Amino acid sequence: MAKMFRSILSGVGHYVPEKIVTNEDLSKIMETSDEWIQLRTGIKERRHFTPGVDTCANMGVKAARVALERAGLSPDDIEFIVFATLSPDYFFPGSGVLVQKELMGDKTVGALDVRDQCSGFVYALSVADQFVKTGMYKHVLVIGSEIHSTGLDMTTRGRGVSVIFGDGAGAAIVSRCEDEGRGILSTHLHSEGQYAEELAVLDPGSSREVRLSKEMIDEATGIYPYMNGNYVFKHAVTRFPEVINEALASNGLSASDLDLLVPHQANLRITTYIRESMNLPEERVVSNIHKYGNTTAASIPIALSEAWEAGRIKPGDLVCLAAFGSGFTWASALIKW
Ligand code: ACO
């Protein structure tokens, strides 16, 4: 059997758009309040992209450049791109190829888009891990990037969803490592499509007789995200601890071994519930949702990059990434840093 390698995250980076939108700002365009939003979600502000400056792909490139610099690598070292998003630049092609164009120029590498919403980054990381540990590639670029702000109903009708989501991007370089003692220990991926429509944007869908009609826009049902909030909450608080424990158990470890948990930033109430139910102290769980809202596929790499910058991740630390989201999908990755 061919030699297996370990994959490490040799660099992490993030980029968020300049424009800050506070709860107060939202309350000027819809019937909502800072108090309602903070109490229910923990969010104080989020970022919205600037048209003409930020795109889903170029925010990913900006995050990737930071990750590359921290890894001591150049774009030339990248052999494969995995791009996770639910808000791609185009219906097709995927945003990964746009990253290849902007970052790599003449060097043609494979670019794969991953569509697993809030779990997208962990899914993408798992794909990169398989390519690196089998020896196929030495350095894979993994990006999570989202522009939600143009896809939300910014009226009172859409307030239950639109106050939650924000724009941003994060990236990681997954690199080959020969040291058995560190790297991605395991990844765990799940889906349960019977709940696909409980958190979804249905239109424009390819199976409709007419893909996009004036009625769809006027009625504004399927073109904006639908979320069964209570339902999502109930499943999330079960699946998060389950998939974290699955990762720990499959490596013979327990929650007390964890140095840092980086959960998808869905909602502060969900994060608090996980932390309390798993008996983890506050300093071992990353939370930055107050600044950025929920950035779906970008939320874990942004949180990871900020935690790294703040010195919260040291070599040898046991770090768990965990996500739950639309699909429903959920996933975890356990990493010895
Ligand atoms: N501002 C003010 N009032 C609002 C807003 C708002 N932004 N949104 C809804 N309301 C109103 C509703 O209209 C409703 O009014 P009514 O009682 O007169 O009918 C009232 O507030 C309560 O609405 P609910 O939807 O029942 O509010 P709830 O307390 O359930 O909170 C929330 C909604 C925060 C979404 C909650 O269901 C939740 O935490 N869900 C978890 C799902 C989640 O956080 N998803 C994040 C994204 S998905 C993911 O990443 C996995």
Q: What is the pLDDT of residues 54-105, one digit of tens each?
A: 999 999 999 999 999 999 999 999 999 999 999 999 999 999 999 999 999 8
- What does the pLDDT read at residue 194? 97
Give the integer Cα–Cα distance in Å for 24 and 45.
9
Which residue ranges of the chain lie beneath pLDDT 70?
A: 1-2
Pairing of strands 199-200, 168-177: unpaired
Q: Among 39, 192, 232, 289, name the best residue to mutate to test ligand 1's pocket (greatest count of ligand atoms within 8 A of Cβ).
A: 232
Out of 235, 264, 267, 320, the active site residue is 264
On whether the CB atoms of residues 56 and 147 are closer than 8 A, the answer is yes
Peptide bond into 328 cis (omega under 30): yes
- What does the pLDDT read at residue 221? 79
Give the integer Cα–Cα distance in Å for 230 and 158.
16
Quick one: which atom of ligand 1 is closest to the CA of 162? Answer: 7
Give the integer Cα–Cα distance in Å for 74 and 55.
22
* pTM of the complete model: 0.96
Q: Among 32, 40, 159, name the best residue to mutate to test ligand 1's pocket (greatest count of ligand atoms within 8 A of Cβ).
A: 40
The domains of the chain, with CATH numbers, are 6-181 (3.40.47.10), 184-336 (3.40.47.10)
- What does the pLDDT read at residue 180? 82
> CB-based burial of residue 1 (10 Å sphere; 0-12 exposed, 13-18 middle, 19+ buried)?
exposed
- Cα of 218 vs centre of ligand 1, distance in Å, is 24
Of 25, 26, 124, residue with least CA distance to 81? 124
CA-proximal residue: ligand 1, atom 12 (nearest) = 160
- What does the pLDDT read at residue 1? 57
